[in-house]
Structure 1
Amino acid sequence: MIEELHGRRETVLHPATQAFRLYMNIEAENYPAHWHTDLEIIMPIENIYTAVIEKQSYCLEPNDIFIIPSGQIHELIAPPKGRRLIFQVDHAILREVNGFDSIYNKFFPYALFRESECPEIHSRLVQYLMQIYQEYTSVEPLFEASIHGLAIAFFVQAGRLRLKQTDSFSSLKKHKQQSYIDTFFNLCTYMNEHCTEDLSMDELAEMTGFSKSHFIRLFKEFAGVSYYEYLTKRRLLHAELLLDNPEYSIADIAMQSGFNSLATFNRVFKSSHNCTPTDYRKRQHSAS
């Protein structure tokens, strides 16, 4: 159910005071290519459901869990009959999961969890989603707090499973692999906290103890993108937070988010969000 669409950008309308929206979708309706700032979790209950990302189709079976990160363009194709749980979550909740930001990039362009891969963790994820659904539909006292806690527990398990799936530095021995993961996890945490500053590749490579050439290769193996792409994405997330405050001008936001010019900020933001920072701000305010 898309309630508000501007071009390809969907504005997810959360119920008042809630940082999430959940519904059991039974509509035999296809949704054209679109994106939204919320992270989206889809789990078919009855019959298949198809997601299309970057021109690749993914046929989801019942109990498959498909996670679409914030800003990712996707298309959804429904069968004539079926049911699927759709849970859309404000990215702010993810910031409460300590360390999650450092691995969030591993969820791009999508994450797919099937029972056959890791039955124990997958079973927990399904259980969390069904508990969230029960809380959401029962509207018992403190149901929002309960959903909040369940969502955080879900993302902790999802993060662990995603790390298993991507298996960074798999060619190394176990103890060395864990050492490399810890090094780059800590580096990403540092970059998250200092993304608005002038972080040079030389400085970051020195922090890891690797040469520049090794650093470039190892960072991409861990994060799935180059250090520059990772840093840019962090700066854009910071800019999104500032855009919610009407007291800041677009130029101020560009500078406070680590971009060296307004032109660069506008270009990078539009390339990522398919709209200018000004348009993004207008749409956020019109939806609130």
Structure 2
Amino acid sequence: MNLSEYQNYHEAKSHTSAGFPYNTYLCSIPLDFTQVPLHWHEELEMVVIQKGEGLISVDFDRQAVRAGDMVFIRPGQLHSIEQSGTKKMEYENIILKKELFISGEGDLCAEQFIGPLMRGELGCASFITPAFSGFLELSDCISRIDRLCEKRPEGYQLAVKGLLFQFLFHLISHRQENQAPVYHARPLEKIKMILKHVEEHYAEHITIDDMAALTFYSKSHFMKFFRTHMGISFIEYLNDYRLTIAERLLKTSDASILEIAQMSGFDNLSYFNRLFKRKYGQSPGRQRRLYESGQGDAWRY
């Protein structure tokens, strides 16, 4: 899922202008969507859980998160957000460009800390819970940034940028001394190539043979590789991705059920209906009627 499509999943609440790339999206699961599929982008992302519980994965590490937890996602890291069973979750999603931290060539902070941190060469925690030694300081930085962005006093961008640097300082200074960076470079790059292909071609006919050729693996090795690293078969992942797209189209477009099935990559309507009902508990038609009546968005805390 590319960043613009990912951002379309969220209720945009832009705290900044285009010249100051710090943006917040307020999200609810399952009110807005049941999941954000595994994806990556070149921006830095932070997820702050406000209420409830959910599941977040970062580079194959899938953990339960709850109110108060924060997740730090470096540029290029694979990550997903999903509902945990029938539980609900509200979270603040912060996306900013890493260039916000870099002044230019010869910047000592960028060379020794920011660059290595963003590239994963400087190990740090992804999941930040109250058990993390620097949790209170990190949480306070985000709270103060939120208050500044709400009020926007003159020069607030200076304070926001300063607090972001403080956030990184606390993240680095409280990391475990023996916490070495963990590299999954080869499998990660292969998986990212596969997911990118799905993102760009999900509406087309995709076969196991196609994916094996793309990765230069045999058919059997590709299937084993994908299941080993993703926990499900490629066909299961592909269908789930397509269903996620279809569910969003049901909510946001006037296209017919048949058109949505085709737009999402399903060429067999009955197969689409069967998979959709298995995933969402009701038929596409029923789901659309719930959205139209407002019942699909009925839950709130």
Q: TM-score, normalised by structure 1?
A: 0.52
The equivalent residue for 1:181 is 188
Look up the match of 1:113: 127
CA contact (8 A) 2:69 2:130 kept: no
RMSD: 5.1
Residue in structure 1 matching 2:238, options 226, 231, 237: 231
Partner letter of residue 200 of structure 2? E
- 1:235: Cα distance to partner? 0.7
CA contact (8 A) 2:130 2:136 kept: no
Q: Name the amino acid aligned to 2:69.
A: D
Q: How does 1:18-167 map to 2 (within 5 A)?
A: 20=26, 35-36=30-31, 37=33, 43=49, 51=53, 63-65=68-70, 69-75=81-87, 86-87=90-91, 113-114=127-128, 126=139, 129-131=142-144, 133-134=146-147, 138-140=150-152
Measured in 1, the distance between the counterparts of 2:193 and 2:85 equals: 29
Deviation (angstroms), 1:213: 1.8
Structure 1 residue 283, shift from structure 2 partner: 3.0
What is the aligned counterpart of 2:220 among 191, 199, 213?
213
Distance 1:264 1:178, change over 3 A: same
2:200 maps to what in 1?
Answer: 193
Task: Say if 1:39 and 1:88, in contact at 8 Å, map to a contact too.
Answer: no
Is the Cα–Cα contact under 8 Å of residues 38 and 88 in structure 1 kept in the other structure? no
- Could you tell me how far 1:208 is from its partner in structure 2? 0.6
> CA–CA distance in 2 between the matches of 1:192 and 1:234?
8
Q: Distance in 1 between matches of 2:196 and 2:140?
A: 30
- Distance, in Å, in 1 between the alignment partners of 2:216 and 2:262 is 30
Match of 1:284 in 2: 291
In structure 2, the residue matched to 1:257 is 264
Distance 2:64 2:242 in 1: 34
Greater CA drift, 215-224 or 34-43: 34-43
Bigger mean CA deviation after superposition, 270-279 or 236-245: 236-245
Aligned-residue offset at 1:247: 3.0
Q: CA deviation at 1:191?
A: 1.0
Q: CA deviation at 1:50?
A: 8.1
Q: 1:249 to 1:68 in 2, by over 3 A?
A: same
Matched residues, number: 204
The 2-side partners of 1:273 and 1:193 are apart by 24
Contact conserved, 1:259 with 1:265, CA < 8 A, in 2?
Answer: yes
Q: Which residue matches 2:248?
A: 241
Is residue 243–residue 276 contact of structure 2 (8 Å, CA) maintained in 1? yes
Aligned 8 A contact 1:115 1:123 in 2: no
Q: Distance in 1 between matches of 2:145 and 2:195?
A: 30
Summarize deviations over 1:23-61 as a string: whole Å, max 9, x none.
xxxxxxxxxxx94416696648xxxx98588xxxx9979
3-state SS of paired residue (1:220): helix
CA distance in 1, matches of 2:199, 2:64: 34
Inter-partner Cα distance in structure 1 for 2:259 and 2:194: 27
Distance 1:71 1:182 in 2: 26
Q: Percent identity?
A: 23
- Provide the rounded CA distance (Å) in 1 between the counterparts of 2:141 and 2:287: 32
Contact residue 54 and residue 83 of structure 2 kept, 8 A: no
Amino acid at match of 1:113: F
**Given that residues 254 and 262 in structure 1 are in contact (C-alpha distance below 8 angstroms), is that contact kept between their aligned partners in structure 2?**
yes
Per-residue CA deviations over 1:142-200 (Å, capped at 9, x if unaligned) read x9xx9xxx9xxxxxx9xxxxxx9xx7xxxxxx6xx523321221121111110111110
Q: Deviations over 1:253-281 (max 9, x none)?
A: 11221113221111111111122212322
Q: 1:119 to 1:247 in 2, by over 3 A?
A: same
Conserved 8 A contact 2:53-2:64: yes
